[in-house]
Amino acid sequence: MGLICLKYLDESGCYCHSTTDYIYAPRGQQKKRKQSRKRGRRINILGLWEPKASFDYALMLGTLNTQTFLEIMNWQAHSCATSFGFN
């Protein structure tokens, strides 16, 4: 009989540059909002939660790409192997 440790993964991100909460335009005209060129970089968090056991996360500047995602998954695999004595 094997042991299964189920973890939930979620990724979220935001920009630090705050946007206008409201925009006005004359009736019949499309609303337009100019975006500044220096709006900042994206901040991402990737969280891994195992109920009643652990919550691991990684914070990063910029977009989460495949290479970064694989590094985080390898970190989790190594952590799991170590905790179960496979290393």
> 0.85 exceeded by the pTM?
no
Instruction: Check whether 9 has a pLDDT greater than 90.
Output: yes
| Band of residue 20 on the pLDDT scale cut at 50, 70, 90 | low
CA distance 66 to 71: 9
Distance of CA 7 to the CA centre of its chain: 15
Q: What is the pLDDT of residue 30?
A: 81
**What one-letter code names the amino acid at 27?**
R
pLDDT tens column, 21-80:
677 778 888 877 666 665 567 889 999 999 998 999 999 888 888 998 999 999 988 988
Tokens of 70: 């694989």
Give how far Cα 84 sits from Cα of 5, 8, 29, 48, 81, Å: 11, 19, 63, 18, 5
User: Are residues 68 and 60 in contact, defined by beta-carbon separation less than 8 angstroms?
Assistant: yes
